Amino acid sequence: MTVYFGAMSGTSLDGVDIVAVDFYEEKPRVIGIESEELPKKLRNELLNLCSPGFDEINRSQKAANELSELYALVANNLMSKLKLAPKDVRAIGAHGQTIRHNPQFGATTQLINGSLLAELTEVDVITDFRHRDMAAEGEGAPLVPAFHYSVFSSQEPRAIVNIGGISNVTYIGGAGKSEETFGFDCGPGNMLMDAWIMKHFGERYDKDGRWAASGKINQVLLTELFEKEPYFRRVPPKSTGRELFNLDWLESKSIQKVPKADVQRTLLELTVCSIKKSILDFCPSVKEIFVCGGGALNPLLMQTLKNAFRDIKVGSTDMLGIETQSVEGAAFAWLAKQFIEHRPGNLPAVTGAKGFRVLGCLYPA
Ligand SMILES: Nc1ncnc2c1ncn2[C@@H]1O[C@H](COP(=O)(O)OP(=O)(O)O)[C@@H](O)[C@H]1O
Ligand SMILES: [Mg+2]
């Protein structure tokens, strides 16, 4: 076995997922996943750190350490579950928590303390996957398309759509055509729906889209959210995050007179519209879309997405052998492997970087 762990905590701030992948055979095999929710206090602190505030440096340091302890707990649990010793895991690729992403001036911050994680797990840790791509004039995001290309390509063009806090699409032109592969952020995935239900019911997310299902699409609001936001019309490469799509953004629109459930339903539609536009405008001749990320677990979102396309089949990555919840984590296991083997982790066509680069930074066990 050649086992790598990939650790991800995405923009949803729902928790930490660590995925174990065996790269021994040509086709990587996911052999385990372990997740842990973020404790409420840490979650709120991470959320607050996403926008300017008081004493950010000390607060970031503390949050990074707490988060690293949580990553270590999950990694150690996963090792126990799989009966692996630290020496059996070649490395952990740890993404950390993005609190700022500023491609316009070539900088990004993912909170994680690689030294602490290496200390607590006794495994080599790779972090900081984005800066090198940015140093080469890339957006530093999204990074997962390179992994999607390596494991999901087939003869026919395909699209992989990850619906996390933000949704992003990877277009795979076909096997052996890495230069035709590209990816970009479509827009908000679950993030605005999460924020809206949190505000009104204190719930982390709209389970199975039930609240959205009780509302109606408000076309006037949808037009304002979708047609008037320049991000949706920008040409890739492009990436986005909480800096743009947050509650302030939503509340600056004409939502005051719209019933709250209708806002939720309209936000779900916004996610679907932005994915649909992304595919139709920029992913030519795609016949199949495979969805991953937490959004794949929302039946209303999946059904609405299926209905949005006439000639394109919409399924999930389960059909390709990697469960929807494991794909992002597996991507960071793959990125760690690329680093250890001194191979590039980016695709310049995706990020806009000047060339292929080895991504990451090593904290030895
Ligand atoms: N059963 C479900 N019904 C509706 N939404 C869900 C469900 N399960 C997960 N989600 C959504 O998926 C999100 C987490 O997705 P994830 O892929 O982990 O995103 P990220 O990479 O941003 O952390 C949750 O915040 C929630 O919005
Ligand atoms: Mg998550």
**Which two structure tokens, joined as six digits, stand for 146?**
């390179």
At residue 241, the pLDDT reads 87
Could you give the CA distance from residue 12 to residue 299 in angstroms, rounded to a whole number? 18
> What is the β-pairing status of strands 288-292 and 158-163?
parallel
Count the alpha carbons within 13 Å of 111 in the hemisphere toward its beta carbon. Answer: 31
At residue 77, the pLDDT reads 98
Query: How confident is residue 306, by pLDDT bands cut at 50, 70 and 90?
Result: very high
- Claim: this prediction has a pTM higher than 0.85: yes
Pick from 149, 132, 105: nearest CA to 354: 132
DSSP label at residue 303: H
Q: Is the pLDDT of residue 32 over 90?
A: yes
- Residue 364 DSSP SS3: coil
Q: Is the pLDDT of residue 61 over 90?
A: yes
Domain at 3-141+326-363, CATH class: alpha beta
Fold of 147-320: Nucleotidyltransferase; domain 5 (3.30.420)
Q: Is the dihedral angle over the CA atoms 325, 148, 295, 168 positive or is it negative? A: positive
Nearest-CA residue for atom 15 of ligand 1: 294
Top mutation candidate among 12, 186, 203, 291 for ligand 1, by most atoms within 8 Å of CB: 12
At residue 178, the pLDDT reads 81
Using alpha carbons only, give the angle 142, 146, 147 rounded to the nearest 5 degrees: 105
Give yes or no for a contact between 165 and 194, defined as CB atoms under 8 angstroms apart: yes
**CA 297 / ligand 1 centre spacing (Å):** 7
Could you give the CA distance from residue 143 to residue 164 in angstroms, rounded to a whole number? 14
Q: Is the CB of 164 under 6 A from ligand 1?
A: yes
Percentage of the chain exceeding pLDDT 70: 100
Q: Taking residues 96-121, what's their average pLDDT?
A: 96
**Which two structure tokens, joined as six digits, stand for 50?**
């996403």
Outline which parts of the chain fall under CATH 3.30.420.40: 3-141+326-363, 147-320
Q: Is the pLDDT of residue 236 over 90?
A: no
At residue 216, the pLDDT reads 98
Nearest-CA residue for atom 14 of ligand 1: 294
Q: How far apart are the first and last CA of the chain?
A: 19
Q: Which amino acid is at 40?
A: K
**Which two structure tokens, joined as six digits, stand for 41?**
């206090």
Q: Among 83-87, 90-94, 284-288, which stretch is predicted with the lowest mean pLDDT?
A: 284-288
Percentage of the chain exceeding pLDDT 90: 90
Q: Is the pLDDT of residue 256 over 90?
A: yes
Q: Among 117-121, 262-266, 283-287, which stretch is predicted with the lowest mean pLDDT?
A: 283-287
Q: Which atom of ligand 1 is nearest to the CA of 17?
A: 18
Pick from 53, 54, 50, 1: nearest CA to 29: 1
Q: Is the pLDDT of residue 238 over 90?
A: no
Q: Taking residues 7-32, what's their average pLDDT?
A: 95
Q: Give the H or E element holding residue 219.
A: helix 219-226
Q: Is the CB of 190 under 6 A from ligand 1?
A: yes
Pick from 361, 357, 360, 362: nearest CA to 138: 357
Could you give the CA distance from residue 285 to residue 165 in angstroms, rounded to a whole number? 27
Count the alpha carbons within 13 Å of 263 in the hemisphere toward its beta carbon. Answer: 19
At residue 284, the pLDDT reads 82
